Structure formats: structure tokens, C-alpha cells
Structure 1
């Protein structure tokens, strides 16, 4: 038998596939979307390389992952109860073999014509400093070489660095006397408890002398805000924008599951790495949100809030929850779709607060699909409990083209 999993799955793929395993080289079974991307990007695959996998979000369905000029794009393959597979109901195939055969001969609406099946390779986990410091966070600062300043602010700087002359890292420094070191290190304490592929990974700290260092993985392309502004629509289109949003939602869904709130979710606090990887960063304001059996964190200290990203209930009463993060995520979606424009442009914070009190919402940006704007509006529901969970937002964005558009409509945006 050439395929793992349930007997029914094998039968649905067709008897031909099982009699000739070479024809099933494109089937990768129940691998995750992120693993599919690693297989397609990290191996020696060319544009058109593809694989078919079992859908993560829809039991019984399959997904097509295909490499297009270095970017992996995903399509849901739907199935009929009476048998058959399709991307669009105008063309139904009795087996996945027929499906593959058709799209290797013609693009027929796909981003590219299917080429060779993805090579099955063992993708090694990238080495990082966390393997060396997981049980001992404090390291010798002499092992860190600062190479290039990436940015600076009121409280310190961020540098690109090298650990032990081998591992690229990012180093956040605290300017002596600029703030309480305990407040600075609170971010590191939170990051020690958080491990997820879509959250910035803490590697180590240097706290024994000034300046204090927080050492994390390096994301070479900087903040999502700058990344979007620098592109301004040249290479980034809706397909990539939806993928950015889905990756951020995945990281936030993990925070949601761990009972954390971020409190400062914005494009400036999402970092961009190689191979279209996006990760949530800057946990300086993050807090555990389970307090007295309620999902609310009430700030006891005066905190300067980024008003244009903050939910109305957090502005009014200083009460934060994962649902206030969902509101901020809606603003982040606005930033993504407008290539990093500042929300409520030309308005002061006081004006924004007044307008929100009158149920004002940011208007639909030009070139923003109605379906994408609808997700933003869901995040901006005036009643926090009515806003979606990050888990729901993650899957909605993962399946954006398959659930929101018909197949032909989706391809108007896949370029």
C-alpha cells in the first residue's frame, strides 16, 4: 500500500495509485501546511513543484500545495459524497490521479501549471541558540558580537549580532537609567514560557552588567510595517497578504491557548524572516489574562496606550482581554491590506476615541476585497464577546480562497 492512513483514504485516491506507487509521489499524507512549505522551499524544487496532503482544517478533504517563484500557494481540493474531486465545480475528476494529470498539462486557473512532484527530503531543524540555553538563560556577554545596529529608541537599541562566531542573533539592549531593569526583563520572563513557530524565540539574556541584553532569533527583514511600506504592492499581493495575516493569527491563537494577552499587537511588532515567515514579537506589555476566573486583565499602572490599535473597552476602562487583542488584529489587517498605512490617518488620539464612541469604524480601503474587510469588521465588534477567537480567525484566513471566493474569483487575486 503506497499511502499511510485509513483504508478509505487509499480507496478514494484510486486503485491505480496503489498499484503503481510511483504515481503517488505527490501524496504526502497528513503533513501540516508549514511542513509542506518547508518541503517545497528548502529542497531543490523548481517552480511548479507540488504535493497533495490531507487538509488540516477540513477532515476528509485534501489540499494542493504548489511552488510559484519561491512562494508556496495552497488550494483546497473538495470532494463529493458520491465520489469525485474538484477545485471548481465546473471541472470534476473521479480520482486524484486524474486531477493531477489534468493540471500537469494545463494551468487552467492555477497560479502555475503543475510540474514535478515535490522531492521528499528530511528538512533539518535550523540550529539555534535556544538548544544551548534552554536550561541556563544567562550567558557570557563576551560570546555575543554586535555587528549592525537595526534600530534605536527611548529605552535602548536593537542589534544584529553573532553568538560564538556561529549563530546569527538579534540583541535588544537597555540604555542604563532609561527604565527599571525589572520591567525590561519582564519581557524575557514571558518569552521563556512561550514557544511557537509564529512567535519570536528567546535565546538568552545577559543581565550581570550594563547594558542588559535580551537575545532572540534574528528576523532579517525587520518589522512587517517597514516591509509592507517598502514594497507598496510591487511584489506583495493579496495572496501574500492573506498568508501574513494567517501566520500572525496562528501565533496569536497559541497565546490565546496559553492564557496570554499581547496588548500591543501591530505591524510594527511583527517581524519578517526568510522564506515569507512572519512572527509576533515585542512582549513587553504581554500579561497572563486569567485573573480571578475572568478573562480580563485590569492594568493597575499608567500605561501609554497606542490608541489607534487599542479596543474601546481597554481605552475606557483599562481592561484588556484576548478579545481586545482581536480588535488590534483587525487594525493589523488594515495595515497589511494598505501596505503599512497608519490607521485613522490625520486624526489625533482624542478624535479617534470620540469617533469610536459613536460606533465609527475605519472605512473599507481601496482594493480591499469585501470578504477581507468583513473579517476586519468582525474583529471590531463593539461587544468583545462577539468578536471571533484567534483560532477561528486562523482557520478562516488559512482557508480564505477556498471558503470566501469561488475558485475562479480567487484566481483574480493570485498573481
Structure 2
């Protein structure tokens, strides 16, 4: 029975603590406040001194194309207006599952009913001599950009190790600053997970046109210097002068909090289709999460994690089934897209259109009448259609010409 006293009793909200304030964390908060405004008492903990920002723009920030304000997402007023307590510049150091507490820095102990781990990844440093010398810098956050720009003085020689997306972006950003930049990659082509040899060759040419020297099959043996970086030595004995070395050889999920708390991990923090860990009160999303054996290091899967978890915690039906990986970006101003299989399997047919002079390349991989992969360089107009066809498995034979050359424009009606 509802009494006058109970009718006016304050609603006790569940305490939700979110550790991590990156892009995935913010997307989760946005969707949660849309789906269940006021349902939770939310506290967000971020290790960086600023609120969530757009990491995709870090290379543009490095190269001076945008300023730090352009990288910002939500101002502090947004968090306040949605009743979210935001703690910045204070990393979480411990999760006490027995007492349901998160220890933050030296000043905060946060009780929780539900906990979301959105702690991202840590940059990998090669296990080679000299990697701890001053002047060896990773490229993951605003502090890294500031450190690189400080080191990238006039007439400096910079070496970027790593031919994946972040390595390419760092190299282009340095070249825009007028720095003598060399990109090293241990594999025989750039972005080997996303591009075949032809597409990678076009990207390399675009990089070199921007002033970046590219060395492939370049295995770093060690970095040397008296008190700071002075040179990099390759395994074949080649010596490259260097005032700055930017390390971009990949990332690994940040597992320290989860492992310290006894939450089940493998390559990442293991989650089910609702982003729930081995503890039903604790969830994980983004680059730190492992779902069905997959750890994703891309924005699109992280956003899908965030939206799935927001629906689940809003009491809606939700289930994440995995993300069909694709890449869509601009490298040195050159549009690039890939999805599905990149190198041609023996069981598939490759349909190719190539115009190197114009910087155009398209490859469709078809197996048993269905599209299993696509690589586009220069014109990526049909990327959304390709992604849909790969995901659905719809027969593709009737669409090959339109996928290769673009769908014809709708005829315009004649003027009356």
C-alpha cells in the first residue's frame, strides 16, 4: 500500500561508475541519457586531464590543420546538465569487487552498483634496446601530440615505426610540420591488414608525394644515443639519424584493473553479447573488451558496444553479434576503403579496375556469387553498398558493373 510518506520518498538510483572517458565511453553516456534519463547516479572517471575528445583528429592536430578545440566533443556543461559527475586527470587504480568500490587516484573511493570498464588500450613499445630513451614517443593521445610537436623542431629528423593507420597519420602530421620524416614498416606493404599490394602501393606514392620517405621490410634492431635519441639501427646494419622516434606498432587492451579485480580476461576483458563480464555487475566496452574471441581496435565496433550496453542498462532488448570490419579513411588526402577479405583466396574471383595515373583502384572479391571483400582507392563512392552486400551475403552478380564504375545518376525530369 502506498502511504503519504512513501509517495514522497526520494527515488534511490543505482550507482553507475564508468571508468574511462574516451570516445566509446561518451557514446555510451549519450545513449544512456537518451534512453533512461535520470535512471542512474552516474560518475565517470577519466585518466586524462580533459573530457572525451576526438582521437581520430589527432593527426590533423599534430599537423596543425585543426586546433585542440576542434577535437572536443561535449563541454563540461553537458555532463553537468545530465547529472553526470566527471572526474578527470585521476586514473582508477583498483576495483574492490567484494566491497563494490573503485579507488581513484589518492582522493576518491567510489561505491558502485554497476561498473563499466571503458579503459581502452595501451600503446606497444618494441622490446628492443633504446626504447626508453628520451625522444622515443608513442602516438595515442593529446599529451603525445604535445610531446611530438615539442620535439619536432626545425631541421629535426623524425622516424615513425609502424605502417598501420596511426603510423601513417603520425608521419603525415610530422611532414606537414616541415619535419624530415621517414616511415619504417617491417612488412612488405603498408596497412597490410586492410590493403592489397596495389592499393598499398598507391598509398605509399601518396605518402611520398607529401614528403614522407617510406622504407618497407625495415626491421628495427635498436635505438642509440647519449642521453637521448640520436640514431636508429636496422637489423641489416643500416644506420638512420634520428632526433625523434614515434612508436606506432599497435596497441594491447588495458587489462590491469580487470585482472587485479579477478574479472575474467584473455586477450581482452571477456564479455558476452550484452557486454557483461564474468561479474554480472561489471561491464566492458571498446578497445579493452573481448567478444567471442575478437578484440577490436576501431571506433565503429566500440560505438556498437556502447549502444548495445546503453540499451541493456535501459532495460531494452540488446545483443551484440560482432562487427563486420571495414576501413574508410583518407591517407594524405587519398580516399581509401576496404572491407572483408583483402588478398584473393584460391576459391574467389578478383574483379579489378586500375588507373594508377589517376590514383584510382577498385577490387571486388567474389566467391560463389557473393561479395566477400572490396578494396577501393581514390573513389570510394560505393563503400556503403559494399559493406551491406558483404554483411548480408546477397547475390552480387547483377551489381558488378555498378559497384565497379558507380551507379548511373537518376535522370532529371524535363522542365515543363
Shorter chain as denominator, the TM-score bin is under 0.3
Higher relative contact order (CA 8 A, sep 6+): 2
TM-score by length of 1: 0.27
Greater share of residues in strand:
2
Greater share of residues in helix:
1
Larger radius of gyration: 2
